[in-house]
Amino acid sequence: MRSLQLVKYDILSFCKSYLTYIALILIWLVLGLITFLMARNNDQVNYSSILSMANWMFLFFGLLVVIKTITRDYSQGTIQLYMNKVRNRIGYIIAKTISIILFSFIFAFITYITLMLVQVFTDGKNLDGDKFLTNIWFYLIFLLFFGLLLFLVTLIVQKPAVIFTLGIFLVFIVPFIQPFIGLIPDWGEKIQKSLKYIPFSYLTEKSQTDSIKFSNWQWFISLASIVILFIANIAYAAKRDI
């Protein structure tokens, strides 16, 4: 199967899965309920709160989709069909990376449509176009970093259950642990400062806020990490029989 055909298959699998629509409906129901309660109690909707909640939910959902995409061939036992030659292995890594990029755009677009619907039904103010563009970049960086990181782990351990567990831990558990790190005697404050320059830390933190801003160092570290992880995936896949 050629790379573009594999990308097409990944996207179609996402679109045809009934779990996709169940997850979307559940997220929309939660956001709809929160919007209704805000409008009822405050006579206005706090779009910043809605955006931060929508981002967190759709990023988490997007990461689960990415994990399913990169582990599907292992769970189905079809990975050998794509990894029997070095050329095919490299093409497979490139195809999965393209799929992750497309999923980033898809989920950023779904988030934008969701906020547009909230705006229409609540007669709210127009959405900030700059925030939407920032969201696109953030979704791209977030899903590429975590996707390629977990993809590399997948190539090494070849156990889908481990990847799902690790993904949930990094995105769901780590943010709740971070506030308590500062309580560690002597080292807590230093560790918290260093976490500002570790992607899996500051990316998950920013996914829960409505104002997504990167420092120059965070931009550099994020992009460099993605490039390094992409090269590491190709190098590992090219040298090892899967």
- Report the C-alpha gap between 27 and 23 in whole angstroms: 6
173-192 burial code (b ≥16 CB/10 A, e <16): eebeebeebeeeeeeeeeee
The Cβ of residue 98 has, within 10 Å, a number of other Cβ atoms equal to 16
The residues near 224 (Cβ < 8 Å, ≥ 6 apart) are none
Q: Mind listing the pLDDT tens digit of every residue in the chain (242 residues)? A: 577 788 899 999 999 999 999 999 999 999 888 888 877 776 666 677 788 888 889 999 999 999 999 988 887 777 777 777 888 888 889 999 999 999 999 999 999 898 888 877 776 666 666 777 888 899 999 999 999 999 999 888 888 888 888 888 887 777 677 666 666 666 667 777 777 778 877 888 888 776 788 888 888 999 999 999 999 999 998 887 65
Could you tell me if 220 and 87 are in contact, meaning their C-beta atoms sit under 8 angstroms apart?
no
User: Domain residue spans in the chain?
Assistant: 3-239
Could you tell me if 19 and 13 are in contact, meaning their C-beta atoms sit under 8 angstroms apart?
no
